Amino acid sequence: MDLMTDLLERAVATARGLSPEMQDEIARLVLAYAGEEQSVIPLTPEEEADLAESDVEEARGDFATEEQMRAIWAKYGR
């Protein structure tokens, strides 16, 4: 049967009013929940560069000290 429930119909109708980026995010979540494999969300060039830099830092053991982490948690309310 190809019918959607009323709740799913309402969700889709609501999603139509969202930005294309948010619609794509919702679609990825629904497809993943339904068991359809989706490719990894592509990174921007800036995100790729940040990730590469992070990998290099990790490889050389360059981690934040406990004191630095406490300062970060204090700053952001944890």
Residues 38, 2 share a domain: yes
Residues 26, 8 share a domain: yes
Residues 50, 25 share a domain: no
Q: Between the CA of residue 77 and those of 14, 63, 65, 68, 70, what are the distances in Å?
A: 34, 21, 18, 14, 10
- The total domain count for the chain is 2
Residues 34, 1 share a domain: yes
Structural domain that includes position 58: 45-75
Each residue's pLDDT, cut to its tens digit, for the chain (78 residues) gives: 568 899 999 999 999 999 999 999 999 889 888 888 766 778 889 999 999 999 999 999 998 999 999 999 999 976
pTM higher than 0.75, yes or no?
no
Measured distance CA(50)–CA(71) in Å, rounded: 22
Residue pair 24/15 in contact (Cβ under 8 Å)? The answer is no
Residues 50, 33 share a domain: no
Residues 2, 15 share a domain: yes
